[in-house]
Amino acid sequence: MMKRALPDGPFTTADAARLDTSRTTLTRWVREGRLRRLFTGVYVRADLPDTTLLRAQAARLVLSTHSVLCDRTAAWIHGIDVFRYAELDAIPELETVVLRGHDPTDRGGCRGGSRDLEPGDWQVIGGVRVTTPVRTALDLACRLPRRDALAALDAFARECGVTIAQLDRLLVRYHRRRGVVQARELAQLVDARSESRRESWTRLELNDEGLPAPTPQHWILVDGVPTYRLDLAYPRARVAVEYDGEDFHTSPEQRAYDRERRAWLEEHGWYVVVVTRGCISGAALAAWITEVREVLRERGVNVRGR
């Protein structure tokens, strides 16, 4: 049992000290699953739901008055995780900017700078300024590696309703900004139907190899009922590209379902290419790309390349 009731929202180590709770105790409670550590020196009770408002309230505790959350932290506030798995071994830094002429946040665990923002580039959530979804998406499209950038754009389209038209309108202001060439190209590939980072990566590889754009999340009807959903499909050619992620395809039940599902698809004329985590680079990448190209060509699709 906690000796004294902790706040019903985010709190700092200083707040905890006023409740006679030491840093050592906080660390132990995090380890025991009683608390979550959101940022360096910022905690919340583990029983409180993780919401956009709660995340923003936590950030507000450590930001300077003129700070605006941006980039990956802003994406996190909007409910989109663009951090790589390995980066989560430590608490990520808060990524912030201030308007020109103001001092950035000077605090451990914060990475600050200045940026030219117009009033429409940010919004207030939980009392803290956060770059808007479209501004955040485009900033990340400039900054992140190419695959991750498209995955972020797809996620903002899926979760926040960001459109290609919105991105194009804002891109006019990004003239000569570092990364704008990449952002301009990827903005035209955005598809809100991509449901995971790896699906976005797979779509990008198909695009880069000059293959036609597949249809994400294509439903197969059985007796008029939507029954099987394909990650990526070429419906007329009856070719599917499926990404088997570790989260959903490793249990015995899921593997059995996948076998049954793919057997039905093959019996009904579909060709299924399976892509796994190890197939996104090197010879494995070249192998499945070649497989897709050859089967599309065999089925009458005009494709470029060897």
How far, CA to CA in Å, does 230 sit from each of 81, 96, 105, 182, 227?
24, 39, 46, 28, 10
Between CA 146 and CA 197 the distance in angstroms is 12
Record the pTM: 0.84
Extended beta strands in 236-292, E state: 239-243, 271-275
* Close Cβ partners of 298 (under 8 Å, ≥ 6 residues apart): none
Which residue shows structure tokens 């009731």? 5
- Domains parsed from the chain with CATH numbers: 11-48 (no CATH), 56-187 (no CATH), 197-298 (3.40.960.10)
Sheet holding 35-39, edge to edge: 11-12, 42-45, 35-39
Specify whether the CB–CB gap between 102 and 113 falls below 8 A. no
Tens-binned pLDDT, residue by residue, of the chain (306 aa): 455 678 889 999 999 999 889 999 999 999 999 999 988 889 999 999 888 788 888 888 888 778 899 999 999 999 998 976 545 556 677 899 987 777 666 665 677 777 889 999 999 998 889 999 999 999 999 999 999 999 999 999 999 999 999 999 999 999 889 999 999 999 999 999 999 999 999 999 999 999 999 999 999 999 999 999 999 999 999 999 998 865 555 678 888 888 899 999 999 999 999 998 888 889 999 999 999 999 999 999 988 766
